[in-house]
Structure 1
C-alpha cells in the first residue's frame, strides 16, 4: 500500500517535468534613471534628446543603458558582445517626445525601423531614430531626412560612415 501511495504522489511530479514550459520569456525593461550614465561613453543619459537604448545580458541581471541608439548599436554589434545579449530595446520615437523620451515607449530593437542620417540631433550628433512601424519611420524621414532601414541593415560600417 505504501508503494502505491508513493507512486501516486510521484505521478504529478513526473507529469510536470514532461509538460512544455516554453512560455515566451518576459522582457523586463528597466527605466533609465535621471543620474544614470551611458554604458559606452559615460555621458548622462537623460540630459540629452533623442531615442535611447538598453539591452539585457544573458544569464545576468545586468542591463546596460545607452544615451543614444547609436551608442547601443556600437556596443551591441561588436562580435564579442553579440553572443552575450538576450534583448535589445529602443524608444519608439513615433510615440514619445524627442527631447525627453518616456521609457514606457521602449520597443524590441530587432523589430524596429530606423531612420539613419536624419537632421535631428541627439547626444552623439546625427541620431539613429527608432520607430515601431515603417510608416512612422517614413513620415519622419520625409520631414527630417535620412534613409529608412531595418535592424539587420544597421552595421558598424554604416555607423562609422563607411
Structure 2
C-alpha cells in the first residue's frame, strides 16, 4: 500500500466514524423526545404556580392537577383540575401538537394537597363524576392502574374510563355552576 492510498483509507475511516457518531447523537436526541437531547419529564408546581385557563393557584385547591408541554414550547402549562387538562387534550378544536401531558396518580397522591406522583395522561385510567371534588367541583381522577381506579369508584362513585374512551362531552367545561350544587 502506498502512502497516498494509506492516507486516503485513514481519511475515509475518519469520515465514516464521524458520520456514525453524528448519527448516534442525532438518534439519541430523537429517542428522548426533547430538544437539545433533554427528555421530557413532569415538573413540580410551586406555591405561585397558576392554572393556564383561569389563573387559580394550584396550591390553594384540593384534587388532581394536570400539566402539559406543547411541541413548540419548553414551558409547562398547568391546570388546577385534571378535567381541564383532559378537555384541552380531547377537545376537537385542539390543533396545537402536544409533546407530553401528565396527571397525578390519585392512588398515591394526597387528595387535599396533591404533590408528585405524575403519570402520563394518555396511559392513565380515569374516574369521572365521583363525589370527590377538585378545584372546579366535580373532577376527573387519574390512576396508574385500573384496579386502583375501580376501588376509588366503588368508594366514591363515578365512571371508570381509559383515556382513549373519554369523549369531549365527558369533560365539557361549559356550565360548571350547573354541574356543581355547592356553587
Does the alignment reach a TM-score above 0.5? yes
Supply the distance in 2 between the matched residues of 1:75 and 1:40 (Cα, whole angstroms).
Answer: 10
CA gap 1:3/1:161 in 2 versus in 1, 3 angstroms: closer
User: When the two structures are superposed, what TM-score results if normalisation uses the length of structure 2?
Assistant: 0.79
Shift of the alpha carbon at 1:155?
Answer: 2.2
1:7-156 matched pairs, under 5 angstroms: 7-17=12-22, 21=28, 23-25=31-33, 26-103=39-116, 105-156=117-168
Number of paired residues?
A: 161
Shift of the alpha carbon at 1:10?
Answer: 0.8
Shift of the alpha carbon at 1:13?
Answer: 1.5
User: When the two structures are superposed, what TM-score results if normalisation uses the length of structure 1?
Assistant: 0.89
Q: Which shifted more, 15-24 or 145-154?
A: 15-24
3-state SS of 1:30 partner: coil
Q: Which shifted more, 115-124 or 14-23?
A: 14-23
Supply the distance in 2 between the matched residues of 1:142 and 1:161 (Cα, whole angstroms).
Answer: 25
Q: Which structure 2 segments of 5+ residues have no match?
A: 34-38, 175-183
Shift of the alpha carbon at 1:108?
Answer: 0.6
The aligned counterpart of 2:179 is: none
- Which is higher, the Rg of structure 1 or of structure 2? 2
Shift of the alpha carbon at 1:59?
Answer: 3.4
Q: Which structure 1 segments of 5+ residues have no match?
A: none
Shift of the alpha carbon at 1:82?
Answer: 4.6
Decide which structure has greater helix share. 2
Supply the distance in 2 between the matched residues of 1:52 and 1:132 (Cα, whole angstroms).
Answer: 14
What CA RMSD, in Å, does the superposition of the two structures yield over aligned residues? 2.1
